[in-house]
Amino acid sequence: MSHYDYIIVGSGIAGLYTALLAKERGKVLIITKGNIDDCNTKHAQGGIAAAIAKNDSPKLHFKDTIAAGDGLCNTEAVRILTSEAPARISDLVNLGVPFDTVNGEVALTREAAHSVSRILHAGGDATGKYIEITLSKKTRSSRIQVLEDCLVTDILVENGVVKGVNALDCHTGLVEEFDCRFLVLATGGAGQLYEFTTNSYVATGDGIALAFNAGAEIVDMEFFQFHPTALRLPGVTPFLISEAVRGEGGILRNVDGYRFMPEYDPRAELAPRDVVTRSILYEMKKTGSDRVFIDVTHLAPYVITTRFPHIYRFCLDHGLNITKGLIPVAPAAHYMMGGVKTNTWGETNIGGIFVIGETACTGVHGANRLASNSLLEALVFSHRIIDRTTVKTEVEIPRQDNKNRHSLSQRHITEALPPPSLSALQQLLWDKVGIIRSREKLTQAADTLASWQKYLPPATDRPSHELSNLIITGRLITEAALIREESRGAHFRTDFPQSLPQWQHHIILVK
Ligand SMILES: Cc1cc2nc3c(=O)[nH]c(=O)nc-3n(C[C@H](O)[C@H](O)[C@H](O)COP(=O)(O)OP(=O)(O)OC[C@H]3O[C@@H](n4cnc5c(N)ncnc54)[C@H](O)[C@@H]3O)c2cc1C
């Protein structure tokens, strides 16, 4: 058994950046379930938001973030996010991330619900790839120990304080214990819960399930962002067509070629993601089609090929020249706003456990994430975790939040359902806990998930652990969506279509 100062689970932007800072403070181990570069981070296209332009300010970035969050952002966390953003961007530049420039100045683009151009990007539309490669290269050449193909299966807690983790070596099947002073969960999102998702296959909600089982508070799970525009081609994974494509002038048309967005929202194609997503769904229903289209044929071809080389190339490889033809798209599950509840130092309610990146709920996104704020969130709060663990070397047990806490409700289980396949689970969540929800569908999903969980055989390998984690995460989303009897941000219920003032609070789930 080995002992570390920091064990970091996950090697996306959150895990790697934290590790690179932590290595100056002690002995660091990264445990990651695949290759170091298997993560959502490397798929990020649009970029990373920061108020660095002359016509911008952290105050304006704050205002836009709060507006997108639809009444549920933690204002202090957003103030920290937006004011510390420029310093964290400088850190990335110093680490070697090659952000795109125009005439020697950093190039900035605009995305939906940002009031000015403030998105930095790299390689045109390959921002995440450049960030991931830069950070993983630095990590590999440092003294940080990295265990690849190793899946964390349990968090060990003693007297309210973290002791370490158990991890499964995916090659040998052996489980080993690793002990630490500080555990940082950076395991990313849970898009694999849904039939259509932009997320990598690693996004199976592991960190949420591990933390929940260890006694952590889980919050805001009903808010799952669906991206309005993922490529919809038969047999092709729903590859993301970045918001920046609409930011640069892309127009949404229905199957009849009609530009529909101005009828739904005055901000048209640049309305917030949840508005565009639902508008597309309504338009698909109205026209009896499973897709709409993005039209960029009016843009100069060089704008498309230089600004979106990755998207251009991917579509071309699938027989679509987007400078000449329309891009078929439909919504797909994209980003989990909820997660393990943390304070503004990344601390949870369990001593020594910190959570960061998409697994965390720091409160910056509220009910709906502003585009390009998530890479930024990972950087800002990773930095704060290291600040905190440097100042407070003794592990403390934080106070619990006793308001609005719920445990998973007892479900009426009539029969033992056989364990589901991953695709059956994804279909259930897509159909019943997706973009448009109702009590009836949510209740059906909650009952099925509870039954699946109850009769699931013990997990032994990576796929069975991931399935079990997805079922727990799916239950948390479903139960929170049932409790919230209103519509707000990304959570929309046909039986409660309005936002209600009495629901302007968070729903916390505990075991
Ligand atoms: C297609 C796409 C485009 C996006 N575009 C943008 C954008 O332009 N701007 C923006 O801000 N955000 C964007 N996002 C969101 C953003 O990329 C993610 O929120 C962010 O990268 C998450 O980083 P992370 O470090 O938290 O998780 P990830 O990058 O997903 O890393 C998670 C890591 O944890 C590991 N892991 C998981 N479970 C375990 C376990 N049990 N044991 C060991 N290891 C484990 C995984 O293998 C992985 O290494 C996009 C997301 C997608 C999918």
Residues 70-97 have pLDDT tens digits of 999 999 999 999 999 999 999 999 999 9
Phi, psi of 301 (to 5 degrees): -50, -35
Q: What confidence tens digit (pLDDT) does each residue in 482-494 have? A: 999 999 999 999 9
Q: 94 Cβ partners below 8 Å, 6+ apart?
A: none
* pLDDT computed for residue 396 by the predictor: 64
Give the domain CATH number at 306: 3.90.700.10
In a domain, 387, yes or no: no
User: How far, in Å, CA of 65 to CA of 280, rounded?
Assistant: 23
Q: What confidence tens digit (pLDDT) does each residue in 444-463 have? A: 999 999 999 999 999 999 99
In a domain, 153, yes or no: no
User: How far, in Å, CA of 206 to CA of 152, rounded?
Assistant: 8
Q: Which domain holds residue 260?
A: 224-334
In a domain, 325, yes or no: yes
Q: What confidence tens digit (pLDDT) does each residue in 410-439 have? A: 887 877 788 899 999 999 999 999 999 999
pLDDT confidence tier of residue 399, bands split at 50, 70 and 90:
low
Q: Which residue has the tokens 């304006």?
A: 60
Ligand 1 atom closest to the Cα of residue 121 is 8
Domain count, the chain: 1
Burial label, 459 (beta-carbon count in 10 A; 0-12, 13-18, 19+)? middle
Q: Which residue owns the Cα nearest ligand 1 atom 4?
A: 44
* pLDDT computed for residue 394 by the predictor: 65
In a domain, 218, yes or no: no
* pLDDT computed for residue 112 by the predictor: 78
* pLDDT computed for residue 401 by the predictor: 63
In a domain, 38, yes or no: no
30 and 11 Cβ atoms separated by less than 8 Å: yes
Question: Residues lining ligand 1, CB < 6 A?
Answer: 9-15, 31-34, 38-41, 43-48, 127-128, 151-152, 186-188, 198-199, 202-203, 206, 240, 335, 357-359, 372-375, 378
* pLDDT computed for residue 4 by the predictor: 98
Mean pLDDT of 289-298: 97
* pLDDT computed for residue 400 by the predictor: 65
pLDDT confidence tier of residue 196, bands split at 50, 70 and 90:
very high
Q: 46 Cβ partners below 8 Å, 6+ apart?
A: 109, 111, 119, 121, 125, 127, 242, 243, 244, 247, 371, 372
Give the predicted TM-score (pTM) of the model.
0.96
In a domain, 330, yes or no: yes
In a domain, 239, yes or no: yes
In a domain, 417, yes or no: no
Mean pLDDT of 295-309: 95
Mean pLDDT of 266-282: 92
Q: What is the CA radius of gyration of the chain?
A: 22
Tell me the average pLDDT of the chain: 95
